[in-house]
Amino acid sequence: MPMIDADGCLLNVSVEGRDGGPTLMLSNSLGSTLQMWEPQMKALTQVFRVIRYDRRGHGKSTVTPGPYSMERFGRDVLAILDDLNIEKVHWCGLSMGGMVGQWLGANAPERFGKLVLANTACHYPDPTRWQERIKALKDGGLAAAADSVIASWLTQDFRDREPQIAARMKAMLLASPVQGYLACCEALSTLDQRELLPKIKSPTLVITGRHDMSTPISAGEYIRSRIPGASMTILDAAHVSNVEQPHAFTDAVVGFLTQR
């Protein structure tokens, strides 16, 4: 996996899949690594060349000092594409990955074909939840927030049926560098990208989870209604819908990206 330098931050990047076909870039949620996309990789790499990466402050990428912002994350993505000499990709981002996708769709439209914005939001009108999480992390580290985060990521029913998957997701979260996670939480506490949405001209699919309390259907519907021509798919899942409903998620993404 190459390490790509983006303004002093070494970003861990993986490139897999079909040579000569279209390229798809995947972007993770807060507190996860590129491994969160494993349920999709077998199917996606049969159709696309797939780029995955660890966001700065996560996984094997460098933990640089804050503050972080969606613009900073978006410029990291453009640095990856430039380093790999890739002119244009499709985008699929979940949660924070969807927020970065909004910034990219509005500010670098020539680099992106279609956008999938999954389980995401463009604005948090009340930053209290993020302020409370920041305080909990500073007081007790990620262990203080892990159970509540996993409860928001996956429904109780799924956690009961698939305890090993839930345990792997929790281990991924707990392995996150605390300073990187904190800097991302601080960026989310001031998120407001509402004015960017009408500027997005790429064909866009919004995916939401029926049981997602973190970025509810209403947040997805707001995004869908502001991006010209966007469509929306609702999955029977909580926040990390690609893990809870892997086949339905993959089918929605591949179907949208390959339709003419």
Q: What percent of the chain has pLDDT over 90?
A: 87
pLDDT in tens, 73-91: 999 999 999 999 999 999 9
Planar angle of CA 110, 115, 121, nearest 5 degrees: 120
Q: Tokens standing for 245? A: 């409903």
CATH number at residue 48: 3.40.50.1820
pLDDT in tens, 185-231: 999 999 999 999 999 999 999 999 999 999 999 999 999 999 999 99
Sign of CA dihedral 191, 251, 47, 201: negative
Class of residue 126 by CB neighbours under 10 A (exposed 0-12, middle 13-18, buried 19+) = exposed
pTM above 0.85, yes or no: yes
The length of the chain, given as a count of residues: 260
Q: What's the pLDDT score for residue 1?
A: 67
Domains: count for the chain: 1
Place of tokens 């002119």: 87
Whole domain around residue 98: which residue ranges? 3-258
